[in-house]
Amino acid sequence: MPRGKYTNHKGRNRRFTNPEELEEERRKEEQKKRWRQQRGESSSEESEEEAAGDKQKGSEESESEEESSDDGVEAKAKGVSNLIEIENPNRVQKKTKKVTQLNTTDLEGKPQLSRREREEIEKQRAQAHYQKLHAEGKTEQARADLARLAIIKQQREEAKKRREEEQKQKEQAAQEKAAQVKKALGKK
């Protein structure tokens, strides 16, 4: 016993069933089923359990019979749900599928992307589309850039003409000065 004021009561009263008890319960159930079958009082639940037992044994014939009988039978309603008709469009009834009925083409199709992945792909597509339109000059920013570029080209051409004129004026001024110097020196 622990010496503290707190004690743990977990696991004190655990009881495990013996394998012999389990085996005996199973035998009693089988006897009850046989007795009911002899009297002809087997219920649908028992026949389903028997079919499940046959499947475990590996009988393929019983599987084909089971499948054909399950197709037309609806699930047994629980509680008062069979008395009240529910037409809720949001209510989804779970339908169990067998492994043979699963459609593997749905799984092999497009992989399901997460929201972030979809947004990233969409963002990249939008950016590529914008770059294409920008290169063609169809966006507002491209038009503004082209207008700015045209103004800059015009300013550069004007500056080039001014520089050429100034260069010509300097050369002309230098020639006039040289001519004046020669004239002053009297060489000509």
Query: Domain range spanning residue 173?
Result: 119-185
Q: Which two tokens stand for residue 16?
A: 């495990």
pLDDT at 71 > cutoff 80:
no
Residue 137's contacts (CB-CB under 8 Å, 6 or more residues apart) are 143, 146
55 contact partners, CB below 8 Å, separation of at least 6? 62, 63, 66
| Structural domains in the chain (count) | 2
34 alpha-carbon distance from chain centroid: 53
Q: Is residue 80, in this structure, part of any structural domain at all? A: no
Average pLDDT over residues 36-43: 75
69 pLDDT more than 50: no
The number of beta carbons lying within 10 Å of the beta carbon of residue 170 is 10
DSSP state of 99: G
Q: Residue 152: inside a domain, yes or no?
A: yes
pLDDT at 158 over 50: yes
Within a domain: 14:
no
**Alpha carbon of 139 to those of 112, 122, 130, 144: distances in Å?**
34, 19, 8, 9
User: For 1-39, what is each residue's pLDDT tens digit?
Assistant: 556 677 777 767 777 788 899 999 999 999 999 998 988
Reduced to 3 DSSP states, what percent helix, strand and coil does the chain have, rounded to the nearest 5?
65, 0, 35
Q: Which tens digits make up the pLDDT trace of 75-93?
A: 676 777 677 776 777 777 7
Between 178 and 187, whose confidence is greater? 178
Tracing tokens 């169990």 back to the chain, one arrives at: 96
43 domain residue, yes or no: yes
d(CA 145, CA 138): 11
- Chain centroid to CA 100: how far? 26
Domain-terminating residue out of 60, 81, 111: 60
Residue 70 lies in a domain: no
- Placement of tokens 């000065």 in the chain: 177
Asked if residue 103 is part of any domain, the answer here is: no
pLDDT of residue 63: 45
Range name among 2-6, 144-148, 169-173 with the lowest pLDDT average: 2-6
Lowest mean pLDDT among 101-110, 119-128, 167-176: 101-110
